[in-house]
Amino acid sequence: MVIKINARNLGMSKFNKNKKGMKKVLLIILGMFLVVSCVDKKTQDKPELKVKDTKKLVDGFRLLENNCFSCHNPNIAVSSKIAPSFAEIKEAYLKEKVTQTQFEEKLIKFINNPTKENSIVKGAIGKYGVMPKLSYNDNQIKAIAYYIYNMNVGTANWYKNEYQKEKENLSKHKEVLSPMQEGKALVMKTKSVLGKNLLGAIKSKGAEGALVFCSEKAVVLTDSMSVKLNAKIKRVSDKNRNPNNKATGSALEYILATKQILKDGGKPKPKLITVDGKQIKYYPIMTNKMCMQCHGKPKADIKPKTQRKIDLLYPNDKAFGYTENELRGIWIVETDK
């Protein structure tokens, strides 16, 4: 027997202000818990009997909306899917009896290292290709896991009845972020949209076709994201492919310093500088396996067909010869202070 108690359905947010009311609800819930555990001993190994953490649900939904739905379309009725729905994913992950904590752990394992070995959804890689690596911290992934575990995200019903409400709910819960976290959120959002388009292009046209997509669309896309997100955002590199993406000044200094940190075995750190009342933030961009088909070693990683396109589009290309986990460049996010 499982009793689902949804904090928002109970209007818990109101009770939060009213301690007495809160206590009453908790007592009722405790009472229900006692009754249930006396009546049916078997339910004791079902840990889901507690009031849901509303804040965690909001955080989880926000992260999904900003970072995941670009590829994992919440509307399962769309015809051209580029990734499995979260309903499919949840079903595969919960096939065996899996607790919330175990689900969190599985999700953390996969997102930190999205490989064939870690993939649980049968046939997903064959159908969609491997998911690009996106960097999230464990707390963010836990909030996402919390939402997926407790809500029916990705089902037709959820999309019809909940999705719009969840979005409205977000605007009521403004996120409080430090300037660096704010910049990082912009980068992650842009990345998920770029990733979606790159993935779609590779899937339908192969690396050499996607390359043309990158050269035509990457700049336009980051520009349109900047407008949407009310900030300037771009990518630059010391070894740039597009001449417009050449790092100069303090950005170049930051890149060289970060390369040294990596060489000494350290962890690259983002950086904030203030110039003329503007906040300028730098975030490292690391390579992974997926990048090699266009930025790796010529011949060994980059196919001749792709190489010919690169030579044609970028006669002064310097963005090759990389291996995995190297600094490929940086994001620059510029906002008014």
Query: Which residues of this protein are in contact with ligand HEC, per CB under 6 A?
Result: 67-68, 70-72, 82-84, 89, 107, 110-111, 114, 119-121, 124-125, 128-132, 134, 136, 144, 192, 195-196, 199, 202, 207, 210-211, 214-215, 218-219, 235, 237, 240-242, 245, 285, 287-288, 290-291, 293-295, 319, 328-329
Cα first-last separation, the chain? 53
Q: How far is the CB of 95 from ligand HEC (least distance, A)?
A: 11
Query: Cβ 292 to ligand HEC, closest distance in Å?
Result: 8
Tokens representing residue 59 in the block: 């955080």
Output the smallest distance, CB 14 to ligand HEC, in A: 31
Residue number with CB closer to ligand HEC (190 or 279): 190
Comparing CA positions, the residue from 224, 135, 149 lying closest to residue 184 is 135
**Which residue matches tokens 């999205």?**
114
Closer Cβ to ligand HEC, 33 or 213, answer by number: 213
Residue 269's contacts (CB-CB under 8 Å, 6 or more residues apart) are 258, 261, 284
| Residue 132 Cβ vs ligand HEC, minimum distance, rounded to whole Å | 5
Rounded Cα–Cα distance for residues 218 and 94 (Å): 37
Query: Which amino acid belongs to residue 206?
Result: G
Q: Which is nearer to ligand HEC, 122 or 278 (CB)?
A: 122
Q: Which is nearer to ligand HEC, 28 or 78 (CB)?
A: 78
Three-state DSSP at 305 gives: helix
CA–CA distance, 173 with 179 (Å, rounded to integer): 18
Residue 89: exposure state from Cβ atoms within 10 A (0-12, 13-18, ≥19): buried
- Of 333, 334, 301, the C-alpha closest to 320 is 301
Q: State both tokens at 83.
A: 């990734």
Give 12 or 131: the residue with its C-beta nearer to ligand HEC. 131
Quick one: 182 or 301, whose CB is closer to ligand HEC?
Answer: 301
- Choose between 144 and 231: whose C-beta lies nearer to ligand HEC: 144
Give 131's DSSP letter.
P
To ligand HEC, the closest distance from the beta carbon of 279 in angstroms equals: 21
Q: Which residue matches tokens 């159908």?
A: 127
Amino acid at 68: C
Minimum CB separation of residue 309 from ligand HEC in Å reads: 8
Q: How far is the CB of 40 from ligand HEC (least distance, A)?
A: 32
C-beta closer to ligand HEC: residue 183 or 195: 195
Distance CA 229, CA 43 (A): 47
* Smallest gap from residue 205 Cβ to ligand HEC (A): 9
Q: Is the dihedral of CA 175, 178, 182, 187 positive or negative?
A: negative
